[in-house]
Amino acid sequence: MSNKSYEPIAPHSVAFLGLGVMGYPMAGHLARAGHRVTVYNRTQAKAAQWVAEYGGRSVGTPKEAADGADIVFCCVGNDDDLRSVVLGNDGALAGMKSGAIFVDHTTASAQVARELDSEARQRGLHFIDAPVSGGNLGAINGMLTVMCGGDDKAFATIQPVAMAFSKAVTLLGESGAGQLAKMVNQIAIAGLVQGLAEAIAFGDKAGLDMKAVLGVIGKGAAQSWQMDNRGPTMIDGKFDFGFAVDWMRKDLGLVLDEAKRNGSRLPVTALVDQFYADIQAMGGNRWDTSSLIRRLR
């Protein structure tokens, strides 16, 4: 866990559903910030491990976790996983008290966000779609960027609480806007990482000292977070620094589906998605996204 400092706010009773590589440290920051945290995870041993580390309590269903909570946070895998913890007799909505807020950090479709927002409203509840950027290290260090869609009053309640694991939590529009903004984020990253991979591969073929080259061009217009943080590791052929290729392909699938609906033309994104499919075929499913360079060597 990082040495993050927490702004003093009134403690809340919160739940966290999903203790994966992102959710585990995010829930930990909530506990460290002084909130009363109840956790649920499909693998109960992971929930027990979290409680041993951070305190709080674990329960057997999302409904039990949500019982009495002011805010229910969630970070699971995809649309179907999300529905499974939100809906049904044991789902979170069935246990939430009137006026409580469900905050979903899953990277999912804009449609499922709108669907669950509608379900929540019918029950006198609130739903905020709030996908994150920053990867596992951002979660561990409490420095995620959170893109939100939903009601402004509900957002005003959750924003200071979510700052426990974030450096920025921003409302971008109505329900679904957070998921759409995350898609914009992934489109921008996909093309950028491919460009950086091609640049490094080209420089290698030209016989240049690419770490020295990146040190120079990183002070000019070519500079980016990817260049600063992944350029040197791409040169070294190390690809175990966070966001996995499998996850990126899931996200780009959401992007390309949405593009079909809204008529966007994304030729570079579609191409890079196929390049990531090549990486999967090479066995790089869990390599980080900078592994695109492996296609070029």
Could you tell me the residue ranges of all domains in the chain?
13-175, 180-296
pLDDT digits (tens, 9 = 90+) for 161-220: 999 999 999 999 999 999 999 999 999 999 999 999 999 999 999 999 999 999 999 999
Q: How far apart are CA 10 and CA 247, in angstroms?
A: 35
Q: What is the pLDDT of residue 218?
A: 97
Residues 6 or more apart from 239 whose CB is under 8 A from it? 233, 284, 287, 288, 290, 291, 294
Q: What is the mean pLDDT of residues 37-41?
A: 98
Nearest CA to 274 out of 292, 296, 287, 247 is that of 292
Q: Report the C-alpha gap between 6 and 31 in whole angstroms.
A: 11
Q: If residue 53 lies in a helix (H) or strand (E), which one and from where to where?
A: helix 44-54
The values of phi and psi at residue 81, to 5°, are -60, -40
Q: In the chain, pLDDT over 90 holds for what percent of residues?
A: 96
260 included as an active-site residue: no
64, two tokens:
């039990």
Q: SS3 helix, strand, coil % of the chain, rounded to 5?
A: 55, 15, 30
Please, how many CA atoms are within 13 Å of residue 114, restricted to the half-sphere of its CB? Answer: 8
| CATH number of this structure's domain 180-296, picked from the four choices 3.10.20.30, 3.40.50.300, 1.10.1040.10, 1.20.1630.10 | 1.10.1040.10
Q: Over the stretch 176-189, which tens digit does the pLDDT of each residue have? A: 999 999 999 999 99
Interval 87-110: pLDDT, tens: 999 999 999 999 999 999 999 999
Which residue of the set 63, 97, 182, 250 is catalytic? Answer: 182
Q: For the chain, what is the mean pLDDT?
A: 97
Tokens of 157: 């309640």
Q: Is the pLDDT assigned to residue 1 strictly greater than 70?
A: no
Residues 151-160, mean pLDDT to the nearest whole number: 97
Assign domain 13-175 to its CATH superfamily.
NAD(P)-binding Rossmann-like Domain (3.40.50.720)
Give percent of the chain with pLDDT exceeding 70. 100
Q: Confidence class of residue 67 from pLDDT cuts 50, 70 and 90?
A: very high
- 8 A C-beta contact, residue 193 and residue 230: yes
- Decide: residue 43, CB within 10 A, 0-12 exposed, 13-18 middle, 19+ buried: exposed
What is residue 47's predicted lDDT score, i.e. its pLDDT? 98
* pLDDT at residue number 246: 97
For the chain, how many residues are written? 297
> pTM for the full model?
0.94
* pLDDT value at residue 2: 73
279 has a pLDDT exceeding 80: yes
